[in-house]
A = this chain, B = another copy of it.
């Protein structure tokens, strides 16, 4: 994956390993976690040292909020979930990343949060292509 400027930002190795790049917004990368158990995306601000939303500069916070809105609406439109879970945890990977997870009352972890619940189930190539396409179209609608 390329080294995204500005600010010498480089995606954390663990996030890179676990995900596929969907698109790049003004502030954030949009990544899809390679886990077919749930449509699960993350926003990663392209800021080299960011760890927490409240530590970002104010203009970046507002931009992150707008991009989170866009992604949330796109996920609702693309995946019709029963609930969207939005979270900045970061206990394992310190680089700021904001989870957006489409949840269903029928999914494997419901109603628990997804972290640590089930082993990731990688997409097969057709399902991955379909999921990326759905999300991209919704993001750019």
> Which residues of chain A have a CB within 8 Å of any CB of chain B?
52-54, 61-62, 65, 68-69, 72-73, 83-92, 94, 103, 110-113, 115-116
Q: Is the interface of A mostly helix, strand, loop or mixed?
A: mixed
A87 / chain B contacts, CB cutoff of 8 Å: 85-89, 113
State how many copies of this chain the complex holds: 2
Q: List 10 A-B contacts (CB under 8 A).
A: A54-B68, A54-B72, A54-B84, A83-B94, A85-B90, A85-B91, A86-B87, A91-B110, A92-B111, A113-B113
A111 in contact with B91 given A54-B68, A54-B72, A68-B53 (CB within 8 Å): yes
A115 / chain B contacts, CB cutoff of 8 Å: 112-113
